[in-house]
A and B are shown apart, each in its own frame.
Chain A
Amino acid sequence: MADLTFADGVGRQVDYWLTVWKRTWRSSVVTSFISPLFYVVAMGVLLGGFVDADPAELEGATSYLAFVVPGLIAAHAMQTAVGETTWPVMGMIKWHKVYDSMLATPLEVQHVVGAHLGAVIVRLAATCGVFTVVLVPFGVYESWWGPVLAFGSQVLCGTAFAMVVYGFSTRSKSEEVFNVVFRLGVLPMFLFSGAFFPIANLGDAGAAVARLTPLWHGVNLSRMFALDHVTWWVAGVNVAVLLALCAVGWAWSVSGLRKRLVS
């Protein structure tokens, strides 16, 4: 049996994921687009109307809406990524056993992981892309290239979460632990990693902890670009941290699935 190249192995699953996407995109419209839009209107527009927009206090933003939007999209990328790599991955391993059937073909573990994560990244790009475009008329962006780089940051942020959480899911025996992941990981990060307010408001110690969370790196990067208020060395650190998480997460995911299903 000739060994498949990585591109070949992933390529052979494109039609599978396309079929899944075609059948399920409708139900993802609510969670992907409508829910975050509700947050933008409630927090950004309505609550934002009561916030004194002092750029010195808002990391350079001239309105609370402009401040909160890039952070919200990055946080939404995290939630989408975690949602797509917890229950669905367990389903493929344990309930529907789709991975088993895939691995019974010439496909190998890294191809299966690559195609699934690829599908998640496409979905992240679609969600963040639509979102970024929808928000253009709100007048929250400072330059034309800012939102483009911000979009890249949001997808990178989501990808880092997807890769790490995928690795975690391959090692989880029961889905109950996912609820705890959401409550003790995703929700606190959503609320405290600078999406809703500058982490400076948390005090020195709190801000230091917030800077350790992966979400802050994504939020910060996305916001700096969207507001055209970039400190380049910080941006470099943010990108490096997210890329490192992707690399570690990838290795962890492939080894996790191999242990679970092959050896």
Chain B
Amino acid sequence: MTAPTEATAPATVRPLSAGAAAYLLVLRNLMVFRTQWKLFVTGFLEPVLYLFSIGVGVGVLVDGFEVAGQEVSYAAFVAPGMLAASAFNGALMDSTYRVFFKLKYDKLYDQVLATPMSTADVARGEIAWGQLRGGTYSAAFLVVMLAMGLLESWWALLALPAALLIGFAMSAVCMAATTYMKSWQDFDKITLVQLPLFLFSATFFPVDTYPASIRWLVEATPLYRGVVLCRELTLGAPTWASLVSVAYLLVLGAIGLVVVRRRLDTLLLT
């Protein structure tokens, strides 16, 4: 065979940089969401409603708790829990139901992979989008907390990156889990994990409510790490031990990301 002449040579495909690829996928999500702005706006309401109901309504009946040596009102105790739980829930919804739909019904990723984008780009792009959305909600929620006088120190500024970290870790792990899903029935298992994490991760009451035999289990769950991290920051009481939570979530997210990429390779490229 002769070497192709210049006229028939395939146009060289310039590989996209990781950033450019993620940007394109985020842009695609943004365009889709423009038609569903009601969903976007109302998504922010959920944690705020929980805060007002449980924090304020039920809070009247509860005396408040002692956290790191200071007495805090029940609302101030619950609010950071809601911030973390909302980052967790949002990431979970985006990276399970939506991703499953795109993977199985829309065949979106098959189309994406027909372009110069790779499976790693898909993982990074989807997670980046989830972070953008979740980050908007978290920032708005922090403003609500500020207006209600529930932020105790400047450390609270770091609660936003903390919420993003929770979102990142959960997105990666949940997306990895989604790649193993076969039908909508499997999503019952997601609820079965999500709801106990939401309710029992020291979101609504302190972890010392549990007997020691269960307590270690709660302390080892990712949402618990996120909740205490946010609480330490909004109450202005971070310690060196907070870094354990940060490292835990970073490692969890990194593992999730690797699994997602491998699984997408098997599902879509073989």
Contact = CB atoms under 8 A, between A and B. Distances in A.
Interface residues of B, number: 31
A39 B199 CA distance: 7
A46 B208 CA distance: 11
A234 interface: no
A184 B42 contact: yes
A202 B58 CA distance: 10
A201 B52 CA distance: 11
Contacts of A176: 36, 38-39
Contacts of A43: 199, 204
B188 A31 contact: yes
Given A49-B209, A180-B38, A27 B62 contact: no
Per DSSP, chain A at the interface is helix
Per DSSP, chain B at the interface is helix
Contacts of A191: 49-50, 52-54, 57
A192 B204 contact: no
A187 interface: yes
B63 interface: yes
A177 B60 CA distance: 35
Given A183-B45, A192-B57, A202-B57, A30 B188 contact: yes
Contacts of A213: none
27 contacts: A27-B185, A27-B188, A30-B192, A38-B195, A38-B199, A38-B200, A39-B199, A42-B199, A46-B200, A47-B58, A47-B62, A49-B205, A49-B209, A50-B63, A52-B63, A58-B61, A179-B39, A180-B38, A180-B42, A183-B43, A184-B45, A191-B57, A192-B53, A196-B54, A197-B58, A201-B56, A201-B57
Given A46-B209, A50-B62, A50-B205, A196 B53 contact: yes
Given A39-B199, A47-B58, A197 B53 contact: yes
Contacts of A39: 199
- Which 5 pairs, one residue from A and one from B, show the smallest C-beta to C-beta distance? A191-B53, A42-B199, A197-B57, A183-B42, A30-B188
Nearest to B45: A183
B192 A34 contact: yes
A24 B191 CA distance: 17
Interface string A22-39: 000001001100110011
Contacts of B46: 183, 187
Nearest to A42: B199
Contacts of A197: 53, 57-58, 60-61
A186 to B, nearest CB: 11
B4 interface: no
A196 B58 contact: yes
A139 interface: no
A241 to B, nearest CB: 22
Contact of B62 (A51, A58, A180, A187): A51
A49 B53 CA distance: 18
Contacts of A34: 192
Contacts of A192: 49, 52-53, 57
Interface in A155-203: 176, 179-180, 183-184, 187-188, 191-192, 196-197, 201-202
B69 interface: no
Given A187-B45, A191-B53, A192-B53, 13 more contacts: A27-B188, A43-B204, A46-B205, A47-B204, A47-B205, A50-B205, A51-B61, A51-B62, A52-B63, A176-B36, A179-B39, A191-B49, A191-B57
Nearest to B49: A191
B19 interface: no
Contacts of A100: none
B196 interface: yes
A201 B54 CA distance: 11
B60 A201 contact: yes
A131 interface: no
Contacts of A202: 57
A27 to B, nearest CB: 5
Interface string B215-258: 00000000000000000000000000000000000000000000
A216 interface: no
B54 A35 contact: no
Interface in A128-176: 176
Interface string B181-217: 0000100100110011001100011000100000000
